[in-house]
Amino acid sequence: MTMTMSTITNILAITTTLLFFFADSYQPKSYYHSLYTSPSLTNNESVSHHLYILTRRPHLAGTTANAKAASHVLSTLSTNNIRSHLAEYAVSLTYPDSRSLKLTRPPPEPPTTFDLKQVLYKDDPYADVADQVEPTFHAYAKSGTAHGPVAYVNYGRVEDYATLQETGIDVTGSIVLARYGKIFRGDIVQNAYEAGAIGVLIYSDRKDYGGGGGGAKWFPDGRWLPPSGVQVGSVFKGVGDPTTPGWPSSMEGCERLSEDEVEKAGNVPLIPSLPISGADGEQILRSIGGVVAQDDWQGDNDAPVYRIGPGPGVIELSYKAKQVIRTIQNVIGIIEGREEPDRFIILGNHRDAWTFGAVDPNSGTASLLEVVERFGKLQRKGWKPRRTIIFCNWDAEEYGLIGSTEWVEENQEMLSSKVVAYLNVDVAVAGAGFHAFATPQLDQLIIEVIKLVQDPDNTSQTVYDSWVKAIKNPEIGRLGGGGSDYVAFVQHIGVPATDMYFGSAYPVYHSMYDDFVWMNKFGDPLFRRHLAAASIWGLLALKLADEEILPFNYSSYAYELQKSAEDLETKLSGSSKISLISLFKSIEKLNKAVRRINDEIKEIKEKKSWEFMWKNKNDAWKMREVNDRLMMAERAFTDHDGLPGRPWYKHLIYAPSKHNNYGSKGFPGIDDAIENANKHNTKDSWRSVQHQIWRVSRVITQASLVLYGELT
């Protein structure tokens, strides 16, 4: 048989294609996953360098410095052969225009005008750019002047005002002094307004942030916040651009609420506020007389006796804000999946910082870039993900999760149908000790991954080993709070998500002392914790992107809902007005659906082999169908109408506490309704509780139907 040149050419082309295909797919995905954490791919010098570059100067949202930081992220993505672009939005931001604070005490004490400045430390390497740090302020604080006696209100919680009321102390017409901690600063201001206060000062108490006295050293000699340190931050209680609630702030121009409409929406404060230092707070405390505060309201052993007042000290507080429309930039990078390009695994971290932001957020950004570089190396070795991986570096998170919210609102329909999971890291490293939060179906995956990563502080064990040894009954937390960029994904569109970090609360939070020096001396001197964070983050993404059957397990979800329902039953014990039958029945349906899909997954795994999947396309479609059910079940926990009074929050299982945006509530709509019913004790208020129970029961039933996979 004689072959023509054309035939030979065709055979060679086909052979070359097949050789390329088999060579490229010769190594199993697990090979690349094990390679991902090998010393040959990790680089603590690189992650340290990224953090240094990102924190060279303050980079508040909407500034040129933050745009330059975005360029560094974009360049790193491009250098690693990851297709990337900027997603820009024009959003409403505020900056301080003027502010003043004066304390007047009874004669003969002279009045004190505070300079409201954070002091440079000796040999500060950032002294040359310190003037680029914005004066201390609260973003979206009310412009205005307040003059009145000062009253001390502890942490400014609802229960603190209840204590004042029981003591017979009224703060109406006063300026309240609250200490940071326990709850979100925006809730501190809101609670003060509802108690009748006309202004708010929030300070960092030495007991919480300064080492508690007793010879503790503050930065740069120790890890603690210096006496002049100030925690700045936003007091906006909403999510996203306040002027575009529920729709994106597009660059081409869009509908916007007026300033009056924003105020009427109820998420911005109606009285002025200022953050102040521990030193200034202590000086004001010395001017307050009246009843001595109870023991748990007192400071450390070296502090003066805390009294409640109001007065005799009088405060004159003035604040004026600049409100502007500024461009913010999300950096988006995409590695397209080979087999399922229409399924997305998203890794997200924000970039903007109140000052230098070495811990918050750029320990997370540096870790994200470490993941990017390792994925770039894997691609050069032949790896290609099964599903699409998307890197998102958000902007303006500090103002109110703005960058991520605007992007989710703009891409909502596509994201709702295509996102498998969102993996968030805000602060990656604040110290030692691992912490994780997730929607429950990802619990098992997180545990599996941290068993594969070496503990950065003890190389003889894994992160999992140190986690279970350090914490009694360690648990993965839930994503009900409003603290970071997972909010739009979980609470608005119902996407499974995680959040994790090393360390816990750190004392220089949101101050100008959160710089590279603090991180290098106290947070992570060898940058091994950054590498461990990148290892966990990347492995979570690899398993979600590459495993043929999604590594979700809804057994944890069913267990947690059952526990929450039992807690609710205890809370309502003795009430004949409320029935929980529908709730428990819906959870039982979910349990049955979970058992069924787990059995289906087990069956697929037992009979699947490479040859079988090659010859049986129907089974491949079955696997896709099971994955779709696993992915979409979380969406079923959302409701179009959202929570009562908070319609943007669609998730009926997890949402922030009404009185603490940092706090998490299970069954938030039910919880809010019970609070209202206990307050008013009317037939309608208790009927509302029952209605919210029915709503939760319905979404749980919907989730069970999605997992079950068959029409009724």
Query: Which pLDDT score, from 0 to 100, does residue 470 have?
Result: 87
Q: Residue 321 corresponds to which amino acid?
A: A
Per-block mean pLDDT, blocks of 10 residues, the chain (712 long):
53 44 65 94 94 98 98 98 98 98 96 97 96 97 98 98 97 98 96 98 96 87 97 98 96 91 96 98 98 97 95 98 97 98 98 98 98 97 97 98 98 98 98 97 98 96 95 90 96 98 95 98 97 98 98 97 95 87 98 97 80 60 95 98 96 88 80 92 95 98 97 92
Query: Which pLDDT score, from 0 to 100, does residue 251 have?
Result: 79
Q: Is 397 an annotated catalytic residue?
A: yes
Q: 50 to each of 151, 508, 516, how far by Cα in Å?
A: 45, 21, 11
Of 511, 512, 427, 527, give the one whose Cα is nearest residue 126.
512
Query: Which pLDDT score, from 0 to 100, does residue 21 have?
Result: 43
Query: Which pLDDT score, from 0 to 100, does residue 611 have?
Result: 46
Query: Which pLDDT score, from 0 to 100, does residue 23 have?
Result: 43
| Domains in the chain: boundaries | 29-91+325-546, 95-321, 554-708
The tokens describing 175, both together, are 């300026």
The answer to whether the CB of 674 falls within 8 A of the CB of 578 is no
Query: Which pLDDT score, from 0 to 100, does residue 528 have?
Result: 97
- Residue of 397, 398, 600, 634 marked active site: 397
Contacts of 224 (CB under 8 A, 6+ apart): 209, 210, 211, 216, 217, 218, 507, 508
Assigned CATH topology for domain 29-91+325-546? Aminopeptidase (3.40.630)
44-94 residue pLDDT tens? 999 999 999 999 999 999 999 999 999 999 999 999 999 999 999 999 999
The dotted CATH code for 554-708 is: 1.20.930.40
What pTM was computed for the model?
A: 0.94
Same fold, 95-321 and 554-708: no
Assigned CATH topology for domain 95-321? Glucose Oxidase; domain 1 (3.50.30)
- Unique residue bearing structure tokens 């991986």: 389
Of 460, 444, 437, give the one whose Cα is nearest residue 663.
437
Query: Which pLDDT score, from 0 to 100, does residue 278 have?
Result: 97
- Unique residue bearing structure tokens 């039910």: 670
3-27 residue pLDDT tens? 565 555 454 444 444 443 444 446 8
- Cβ atoms < 10 Å from Cβ of 152: 27
